[in-house]
């Protein structure tokens, strides 16, 4: 069926792309607030801001205390943004804003005196961290057990349902008022903000793991007893994180929520333009259903209300799991719509308690892993280092058959690493393990206190041991594409300051950059870092994915990269040639007067980081009606015809688009 759909979709290179008929602003416009309240809040926000800057300067010599500053900043940001961007969703939030400012000032005064009582508090606690992605302060909520202990505790990650009005201020208010659906005994519960309302994908996914890392740095957490659950959009989040990162959890429980895009969002209905072939391929980036085989690695209990329309997703996952040989446990709330039924909820709470108490083994003897991209490369003690081809299913089944033998079976895998937490006893340096890969017998490296071994497949299809996981210029962890992949880690917008090749390109690039800045704030709740091309530093090149806007005439950094690439003899060559007359991507050539390229590629100035041209994250306003549509819309490269203006889905008319191969070269076909 998929092949038939793809065959019917495209009969010409240029695609007629009609934006969705409905969009909505998220978060929606706020309500008007009385002038007197606004003035009071603005005064309080300014005062708290001054206290924060004073603390920042005074705590420079005290890193431990300085690390607590985000616990103050979350209150300032919540009120400041509500005021600055008119995001008061209800006049009742005025009281929440005043409480936030009071809490922020109280914590600031405590820090000034070398104290941080909230760090030892139990019950609902609000804390924050600074994100590596954009330097923004992000909040998270905790529920800390009353009993005090220095022993490592379990951690439950709770993922929230959709709320288009969940600004930072709304989030703080929710976490003050509620402990949440589940509070397992002696377990810390973390409520990530998830970067607002995106089903914890992209920067939202990074937020979950950054919040977890912050908790683990501040509280003793048992890494083998971390569970994850959520409901509604949080259920979709749980499906996503539970399948893409199955090895991290001792238990997981999605409640309702979607598990894929095409069926849930009806993308092939008669009323909408079918997605282009590359967008369909990129459903594999986010579709939990495509990673269902990974549920074999850890306990899962799905919950659905019997008459909840979102039950269909769990029904689908159950069928897919059955085809994978995985039995999916389920709870059904009798005659219940979109909520937890009390009896089923009680059963689920008991199940979570049992699984959290049991934990997950540090070294399971069997590992089963499916992926479509090296954005998601690891399951327990197996890490994939290279695929034969991205966006096609890759599988690896590995088993420690006995203390001296590993059996590994692969499909669409070109390189992988075995990394054990301890050496498999009773082996020693004189008895290295046997490794059987797809029936081929190899001898692993010598055993030390732990055991790590790298294996690589040659052009002849034969496996061999490798000295390291490094494959040179190759699609690998953190360098896989598509364009959206650059925005799950540190990035920097590089603004052009020169004269563009022509006015049309200059106006389009300026408009798209300004739009990307606004949409990053709205959707992912941070301020995109922006620098002029003349101010770019070696530090920026070393530590950030560079998002270059403009063309070689307007953007000095792009000009320097093209000049360097033209002189370089490295493989792969940077694929872009751009003059006043033409834009050429590989063999694809278009007039420069009304065409512009979008691409993602390893930065020629630092091959460990991305270079992106003329694009922010690629799902636009037309994808806000459901989180299931918040998927990558563009692949590794695209040519944009500027004669068609940007729409709610596209930055212009996408005339051609595609992927680079596994070596970041232009594909042969």
- pLDDT grade for 20, boundaries at 50, 70 and 90: very low
Task: Please say if the pLDDT value at position 10 is more than 90.
Answer: no
Task: Please say if the pLDDT value at position 424 is more than 70.
Answer: no
pLDDT score for 433: 82
pLDDT score for 572: 67
Q: Is the pTM of this model over 0.75?
A: yes
pLDDT tens by residue, 491-522: 999 999 999 999 999 999 999 999 999 999 99
pLDDT tens by residue, 296-352: 999 999 999 999 999 999 999 999 999 999 999 999 999 999 999 999 999 999 999
C-alpha closest to that of 326 among 233, 242, 389: 242
Q: Which residue has the higher pLDDT, 292 or 2?
A: 292
d(CA 255, CA 654): 38
> Per the structure block, which two tokens stand in for 389?
């081809």
Task: Please say if the pLDDT value at position 78 is more than 80.
Answer: yes
d(CA 24, CA 22): 7
The residues near 501 (Cβ < 8 Å, ≥ 6 apart) are 551, 552, 553, 554, 578, 579, 580, 592
pLDDT score for 604: 92
Beta strands in 524-649 (DSSP E): 530-532, 545-548, 576-578, 582-585, 588-591, 595-603, 606-613, 637-641
Mean pLDDT of 390-399: 98
Mean pLDDT of 485-492: 98
Query: Is 302 in contact with 351 (CB distance < 8 Å)?
Result: no
Task: Please say if the pLDDT value at position 6 is more than 50.
Answer: no
Percentage of residues in the chain having pLDDT higher than 90:
86
Mean pLDDT of 523-532: 98
| Domains by residue range for the chain, with CATH | 35-358 (3.40.50.1820), 378-466 (no CATH), 483-658 (no CATH)
- pLDDT grade for 147, boundaries at 50, 70 and 90: confident
Q: Which residue has the higher pLDDT, 567 or 118?
A: 118
> Per the structure block, which two tokens stand in for 402?
């006995």
- pLDDT grade for 22, boundaries at 50, 70 and 90: low
Mean pLDDT of 424-444: 78
Residue with tokens 């969009």: 23
Task: Please say if the pLDDT value at position 95 is more than 70.
Answer: yes
The average confidence (pLDDT) of the chain is 93
pLDDT score for 273: 84
pLDDT tens by residue, 295-305: 999 999 999 99
pLDDT tens by residue, 246-279: 999 999 999 999 999 999 999 998 777 899 999 9
Mean pLDDT of 383-400: 97
pLDDT score for 425: 59
pLDDT score for 428: 57
pLDDT score for 15: 31
């Amino acid at each position: 069926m998929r092949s038939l759909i793809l065959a019917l979709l495209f009969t010409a290179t240029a695609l007629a792309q009609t934006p969705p008929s409905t969009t909505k602003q998220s978060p929606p416009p706020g309500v008007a607030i009385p002038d007197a309240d606004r003035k009071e809040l603005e005064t309080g926000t300014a005062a708290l801001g001054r206290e924060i800057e004073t603390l920042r300067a005074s705590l420079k010599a005290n890193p431990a205390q300085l690390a607590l500053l985000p616990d103050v900043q979350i209150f300032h940001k919540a009120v400041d943004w509500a005021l600055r961007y008119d995001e008061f969703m209800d006049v009742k939030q005025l009281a929440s804003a005043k409480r936030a400012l009071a809490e922020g000032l109280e914590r600031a005064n405590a820090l000034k005196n070398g104290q941080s009582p909230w760090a030892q508090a139990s019950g609902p606690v609000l804390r924050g961290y600074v994100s590596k992605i954009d330097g923004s302060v992000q909040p998270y909520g905790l529920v800390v057990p009353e009993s005090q202990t220095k022993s490592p505790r379990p951690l439950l990650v709770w993922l929230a349902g959709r709320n288009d009005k969940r600004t930072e201020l709304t989030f703080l208010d929710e976490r003050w008022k509620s402990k949440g659906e589940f509070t397992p005994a002696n377990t810390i519960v973390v409520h990530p903000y998830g970067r607002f309302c995106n089903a914890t994908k992209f920067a939202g996914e990074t937020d979950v793991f950054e919040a977890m890392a912050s908790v683990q740095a501040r509280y003793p957490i048992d890494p083998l007893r971390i569970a994850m659950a959520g409901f509604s959009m949080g259920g979709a989040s749980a499906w996503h994180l539970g399948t893409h990162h199955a090895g991290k959890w001792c238990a997981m429980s999605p409640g309702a929520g979607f598990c894929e895009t095409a069926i849930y969002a009806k993308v092939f209905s008669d009323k909408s333009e079918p997605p282009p072939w590359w967008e369909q391929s990129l459903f594999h980036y986010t579709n939990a259903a495509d990673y269902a085989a990974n549920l074999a690695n850890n306990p899962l209990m799905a919950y659905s209300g019997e008459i909840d329309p979102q039950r269909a997703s769990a029904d689908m996952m159950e069928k897919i799991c059955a085809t994978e040989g995985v039995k999916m446990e389920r709870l059904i709330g009798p005659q219940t719509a979109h909520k937890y039924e009390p009896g089923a909820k009680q059963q689920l709470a008991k199940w979570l308690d049992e699984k959290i108490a049991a934990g997950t083994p540090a070294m399971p003897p069997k590992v089963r892993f499916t992926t479509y991209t090296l954005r998601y490369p690891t399951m327990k003690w197996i890490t994939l280092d290279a695929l034969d081809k991205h966006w096609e299913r890759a599988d690896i089944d590995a088993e420690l058959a006995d203390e001296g033998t590993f059996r590994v079976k692969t499909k669409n895998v070109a390189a992988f690493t075995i990394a054990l937490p301890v050496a498999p006893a009773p082996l020693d340096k004189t008895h290295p393990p046997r490794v059987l890969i797809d029936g081929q017998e190899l001898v692993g490296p010598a055993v030390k206190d732990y055991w790590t071994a790298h294996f690589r497949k040659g052009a002849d299809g034969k496996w061999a041991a490798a000295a390291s996981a490094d494959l040179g210029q190759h699609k690998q962890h953190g360098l896989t594409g598509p364009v959206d992949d650059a925005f799950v880690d540190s990035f920097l917008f590089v603004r052009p300051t020169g004269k563009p090749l022509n006015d049309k390109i200059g106006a389009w690039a300026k408009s798209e950059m300004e739009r990307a800045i606004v949409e990053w704030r709205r959707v992912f709740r941070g301020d995109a870092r922006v620098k002029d091309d003349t101010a770019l530093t070696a530090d920026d090149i070393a530590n950030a994915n560079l998002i270059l806007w403009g063309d070689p005439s307007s953007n000095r950094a792009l000009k320097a990269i093209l000049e360097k690439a033209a002189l370089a003899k490295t493989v792969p060559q940077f694929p872009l040639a751009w003059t006043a007359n033409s834009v050429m991507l590989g063999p694809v050539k278009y007039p420069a007067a009304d065409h512009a390229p979008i691409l993602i590629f390893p930065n020629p100035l630092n091959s460990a980081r991305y270079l992106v041209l003329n694009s922010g994250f690629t799902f636009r306003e037309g994808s806000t009606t459901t989180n299931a549509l918040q998927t990558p819309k563009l692949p590794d490269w695209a040519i944009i015809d500027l004669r068609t203006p940007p729409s709610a889905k596209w930055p212009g008319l996408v005339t051609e688009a595609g992927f680079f191969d596994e070596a970041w070269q232009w594909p042969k076909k």
